[in-house]
Amino acid sequence: MMNPMLIDKLNTHPELLSDEASQQYRITDVSWQTYETLLTDLGDNSPGLRVHYLAGVLEITMPSRQHEVFKDNIGRLLGVYFEETRTRFYSLGSTTFRSEANRGGAEPDLSFCIGTDKALPDIAIEVVKTSGGVDKLAIYQGLNVPEIWFWQENCFTLYHLENQEYRQVECSQFLPDLDLNLLASYVTYSEPLDAVLAYRQAIAQTK
C-alpha cells in the first residue's frame, strides 16, 4: 500500500509524467524535513520506488518491468567483469544518499565503490526510461559522487566530476579497461543467462 503521506502530497501537488516505460510523480515546494520524513515512512516497505530530491522538488519513480530488467542485467554483467578482472568492488545498490547542506538526495539504480569501501559510491548508475524530471547530475554534484553512468537508448553515457563540475567522458575513470560498447551489447539480451555466459567468454578472449 502506498504511504498515506505520499498520497496526500500527490493529491495536493499532482504532476504525473508517464510513458510506456515508467511513471514519475513530481511534487514541488517540498521541504527538506518533509523529504526526510517521507524516506523514514517509506523505509524498506517500498523497495521498487526511486526517490530523488533537489531544492524543494521531490520526484518518485515507479520503474517499469523493462527498466528493472535493464538494471538487473547491468548489475549481473558488471559482476562478471569484476570477477573476471579480479576487481575489488562493493555494491551499494539503491542506497539513499543525501545532503541537507546541498538540498539534494538520490537513490541510484545501481552504485559501486571500487577498490575500497566508502561512505559514497565511486560510480552511480541511472537507467533512464522517461524524459524530463529533476536534474540528476545536479543532485550527484551536490553529493560529490565522482562518476555517473546513464543507460539510455541502449548505450552508456558517462560523466566524471572534475573541479566540482561534471565532464562527459568516453571511459570510466575507475574502470579504464572496461569496454563500454561491449558491455552495452549484452545488456539488451533477452536471455540473462546467455548474456552472462557470452560476456564472460568475451572478456576471457580479451585477456
Q: What is the pLDDT of residues 85-122, one digit of tens each?
A: 999 999 999 899 999 999 999 999 999 999 999 999 99
d(CA 27, CA 11): 10
Is the model's pLDDT at 47 over the cut of 70? no
pTM of the model: 0.86
Q: Any residues with CB less than 8 A from the CB of 153 and at least 6 apart, and which? A: none
Q: What are 155's three cell numbers?
A: 548505450
pLDDT above 90: residue 42? no
Q: Give CA torsion, residues 4, 124, 55, 30, to 10 deg.
A: 0
The residue out of 45, 62, 79 marking a domain boundary is 62
Same domain, 176 and 201: yes
Cα dihedral 196/189/23/133 (nearest 10) = 80
End-to-end CA distance of the chain: 49
Tell me: do 80 and 133 sit in the same domain.
yes
Domain boundary among 32, 47, 62: 62
13 and 71, same domain (yes or no): no
Residues 200 and 99 in one domain: yes
Q: Does residue 53 sit in the same domain as residue 72? A: no
Where does residue 56 rank: exposed (0-12), middle (13-18), buried (19+ CB within 10 A)?
Answer: middle
Please indicate, yes or no, whether residues 180 and 197 belong to a single structural domain of this protein: yes
The average pLDDT across 55-67 equals 90
**Do residue 92 and residue 182 come from a single domain?**
yes
Range of the domain at 177: 65-206
Residue 110's DSSP bridge partners are 125
Compute the distance between CA of residue 120 and CA of residue 15 in angstroms, rounded to an integer: 31
Q: Are residues 107 and 182 in the same domain?
A: yes
CA-to-CA distance for 206 and 155, rounded, in angstroms? 21
Does 161 score more than 80 pLDDT? yes
For residue 173, the one-letter residue type is: Q
| Total count of domains within the chain | 2
Task: Let me know whether 109 and 37 are in one domain.
Answer: no
pLDDT at 195 exceeding the cut of 80: yes
User: Which residue reads 539488451 in cell numbers?
Assistant: 188
